[in-house]
Amino acid sequence: MIKGLLFNLLPERFFIAGIAGKLETVLAKPSISPKGIAIVAHPHPLYGGTMDNKVVHTLFNTFLELGFITVKFNFRGVGQSEGVFDHGIGELADVLTVTRVIRERYIDLLHLPLLLSGFSFGGAIQLHAAQTLNPEFLILVAPSVVHLEAPAPPEKNHYVLVIQGDQDDVVTAESILAWAAPQSLPIVMIRGAGHFFHGKLLILKNLILRFFMPKM
C-alpha cells in the first residue's frame, strides 16, 4: 500500500498570518484521499534550523508518502517568516497558529488523524503543542526535552514514536531515556547515528513507515 503511493510533485508555498507576522509555509497533498494532516517543526532557529533541514525534509516526504496532507513551515525570524526568535514561547504559538489555519482550510477532514512531528527543538515544541492539540500521532526525532523542559505526551495520544541516535552529542541518548523512563515510553535507538542522522536518513524513514504499517 505504501510503496505504490503517489503524491503531487509541486508543493504549495504560501504565508500564514502569525502573531509576530507572516509564516513561510509549504504544503503538499497526496494524490489519493488523504489519511490525515501532518505538521512538521524544524530545529533551533538560532543554530541554523529551517524547514529545509534534511531530517525535516525526510519527515515531510515520509508523511506525504503515507498519505498525509503534509505541512512544514519556518518559525518566526527564519527564512521569509517575520518576527524574531522567542525562546520557545512564540514558536509554540507559531505551531498552534499553523495547525489551526491548516485544519480550518481542510475543515471537511477534521475527522481524520492529526499528526505532529518535529526534530530537535521542533520536537520539543511539538510536545508542548500536543498538550493543547491532542494529536492522534506524535512522531519525534531527537527532541530537545531537557533544554525546553518538554512535558510527557498527553495520555490521549494514541500513538507516539520517539527516534534517537545513540551517538547524539546535542540531545544525548541518556537525556532522552531519563525523560522517557517515568512514562515507560519506548525509545527507538539508531546505532551509530549522531544528531543530524548523517547516513541514517533512509533508516529513519523506514522506521516510520514500519511504525505505520499496521495502522494505515
Question: For every residue of 61-100, which 3-state class applies, written as one string?
Answer: HHHHHCCEEEEEECCCCCCCCCCCCCCCHHHHHHHHHHHH
What nine digits make up the cell of 198?
548523517
Task: Please give the single-letter amino acid code of residue 201.
Answer: L
**Eight-class DSSP state of 103:** H
CATH no. of 12-157: 3.40.50.1820
Supply the pLDDT for residue 4: 43
Q: Encode pLDDT of 150-175 as tens digits.
A: 999 998 667 999 999 999 999 999 99
Assign 9 a pLDDT band (cuts: 50, 70, 90).
low
Lowest mean pLDDT among 5-9, 67-71, 84-88, 130-134: 5-9
The neighbour count for residue 67, using CB atoms within 10 Å, is: 23
Supply the pLDDT for residue 47: 97
Q: Please provide the average confidence, as pLDDT, over all residues in the chain.
A: 94
Domain boundaries, the chain: 12-157
pTM over 0.85: yes
Long-range contacts of 209-213 (CB under 8 A, 24+ apart): 209/2, 209/62, 209/65, 209/66, 211/139, 211/159, 211/161, 212/2, 212/66, 213/2
